[in-house]
Amino acid sequence: MGSNQTNEGSIETLVLPVDTAHMGAFQDPLTLENWELPISLSGLKPLQEAAAYLKTSSIPVGFPTETVYGLGADATRSDAVKGIYKAKGRPSDNPLIIHVCDLEMLRNFLRPKGELNGNVEYSNDPIPEIYMSLIQKFWPGPLTILLPNPTPSKLAPEVTAGLKTFGARMPESPLALSLIKLAGVPLAAPSANASTKPSPTTAEHVRHDLDGKIELILDGGACQVGVESTVVDGLCDPPVLLRPGGLSIDRIRESKGWENVVKGYKDQSELGSKAPRAPGMKYKHYSPKAKVVLFEATHYKDPSTGLPPKTLESLRNRTTRSVPSIGIVSTRNWSNWAGFDSDISHMNTATRKLVLEGTSCSLEFGDLTNGRSEKVATLISISLGSDTKDIAHALFAALRELDKKNVDTIYVEGIEDQGDIAAAVMNRLRKAASVIEN
């Protein structure tokens, strides 16, 4: 694939639909040793094109995984990995995760450069024993493990950002596994969004952020999980969960050697210059353009009361608009419009009404004596439902949708961050939030 240039000289971004029906399978699903492509490669033409591009270009490719869309590049070439940082606007001290298609590929990159050839047999497995129970139980899937980087390493130094370890995972997406197999190398692949913005869960999200910065996006449909992988470090004692994600700490504790795993992450951006041990630990992430106000699940004794009083008044004082636009993301307890329809604290008026305008509504206050009303806000409400998996799946898309509506502020109802992937949801929201109401 050659470079696609517009008349103005900028990159033309192509989105290629992919039929995911026949992507391949593991030779032995129990061992995960070898991912095999289908006998007929006719359905893999978009992937073949992308793989050929990954082998030669310094511009990364957008592709789907089960968690979020990734921005992939050949993890062995510095120019390719640097292309990820350039396209995303990502700080260079933020390490990247490599994605492998099978354990054979992973073992190859755990052995020092120059030592592996077809005639050598190794008696010792380079994968640390501590991880075997997790791999057997959760791979392929939304789990990233921290591994020792051998010296000399086959990975480009930009992957590890100066650390002596690297993160690796085997995605559950057959499309991703087949793309990696065709490329023949691990793919360094953070989320395919502009740095600090909400992670992309559709090809359209990727195009919105990176149009003109990358040449190719593989469209395999919407992602199933909706939040990034869980990151764990088993090279220390006790083991540490560095980033919550699609796999809960409770499930990890069910595995041999991980019964005492501890939480090792902070929910708000870490301060100081120390390099993060894993992606997503240091910098502000997942933030839309609008100001995000997060209300913790423990904020209310009576959740049905909605938002605290005077929220509309304070918002009107902060925005230059005479009629502010408010986004509302509700989960388990907020009533329709999150209580804004009952917030009349700043006006001496007798009536209020909601005027529906498609998917949004106008909030008007009126005076019954003269029949006149004043539009005081535009409300756009998105309900994610009460199921944690549904909330995780739709969270980033909701933040992006409200950004497209150009709202001034987004009010988000938090959930209890216990069990399942709720910790990942709240971790992302706390990093996105400008204000957190406890």
Instruction: Please name the residue ranges forming H helices in 249-361.
Output: 249-252, 311-318
Task: List the one residue out of 182, 100, 213 whose CA is nearest residue 147.
Answer: 100
pLDDT tens-place string over residues 120-176: 555 589 999 999 999 999 999 999 999 999 999 999 999 998 899 999 999 999 999
Residue 434's pLDDT is 84
> C-alpha 317: how far from its chain's center?
33
Whether 420 shows a pLDDT value over 60: the answer reads: yes
Residue 415's pLDDT is 92
Cα 114 from Cα 257, distance rounded (Å): 32
Residue 353's pLDDT is 55
Are 228 and 191 a contacting pair, CB within 8 Å? yes
Cα 371 from Cα 60, distance rounded (Å): 59
Which whole number is the average pLDDT over 298-323? Answer: 58
Whether 242 shows a pLDDT value over 90: the answer reads: yes
Phi, psi of 381 (to 5 degrees): -110, 135
All residues at 6 or more sequence positions from 128 whose CB lies less than 8 Å from its CB, including other chains: 147, 148, 234, 235
| Counts for the chain of helices (H) and strands (E), in that order | 11, 20
pLDDT tens-place string over residues 361-402: 666 655 545 556 667 778 888 889 999 999 999 999 999 999
pLDDT tens-place string over residues 7-40: 444 789 999 999 998 899 999 999 999 999 999 8
More confident residue, 276 or 245: 245
CA angle at residue 423 from 417 to 428, to 5 degrees?
Answer: 115
Q: How confident is the model at residue 270 (pLDDT cuts 50, 70, 90)?
A: very low
% residues pLDDT > 90 (the chain): 57
Q: How confident is the model at residue 283 (pLDDT cuts 50, 70, 90)?
A: very low
Q: How are strands ordered across the β-sheet holding 61-64?
A: 14-17, 216-219, 61-64, 69-74, 187-188, 97-99, 165-169, 143-148, 230-233, 240-243, 262-263
Helices 174-183 and 45-56: crossing angle in degrees, nearest 10, is: 50
Are 307 and 338 a contacting pair, CB within 8 Å? yes
Which domains, ranges and CATH numbers included, belong to the chain? 14-227 (3.90.870.10), 291-437 (3.40.50.11030)
Q: How confident is the model at residue 345 (pLDDT cuts 50, 70, 90)?
A: very low
All residues at 6 or more sequence positions from 74 whose CB lies less than 8 Å from its CB, including other chains: 54, 55, 80, 81, 183, 185, 187, 188
More confident residue, 287 or 315: 287
Q: Which residues pair with 106 in a beta bridge?
A: none
Amino acid at 171: P
Size of the chain in residues: 438
Q: How confident is the model at residue 324 (pLDDT cuts 50, 70, 90)?
A: confident
Residue 56's pLDDT is 94
Cα 200 from Cα 194, distance rounded (Å): 9
> C-alpha 10: how far from its chain's center?
27
pLDDT tens-place string over residues 66-80: 999 999 999 999 999
DSSP reduced 3-state for 134: helix
Are 168 and 100 a contacting pair, CB within 8 Å? yes
User: Taking the CB of residue 2, how many other CB atoms lie within 10 A of it?
Assistant: 8
More confident residue, 93 or 195: 195
Amino acid at 300: Y
Task: List the one residue out of 186, 190, 224 whose CA is nearest residue 66.
Answer: 224
Q: Any idea which of 234-248, 325-339, 371-385 has the lowest mean pLDDT?
A: 371-385
Report pTM.
0.86
- The bridge status of strand 360-367 relative to strand 435-437 is unpaired
Which whole number is the average pLDDT over 178-188? Answer: 98
Q: How confident is the model at residue 348 (pLDDT cuts 50, 70, 90)?
A: very low
Are 86 and 230 a contacting pair, CB within 8 Å? no
Whether 198 shows a pLDDT value over 60: the answer reads: yes
Phi, psi of 363 (to 5 degrees): -105, 120
DSSP reduced 3-state for 422: helix
Q: Please return the burial class of 29, using the count of CB atoms within 10 Å of its CB with bins 0-12, 13-18 and 19+.
A: exposed
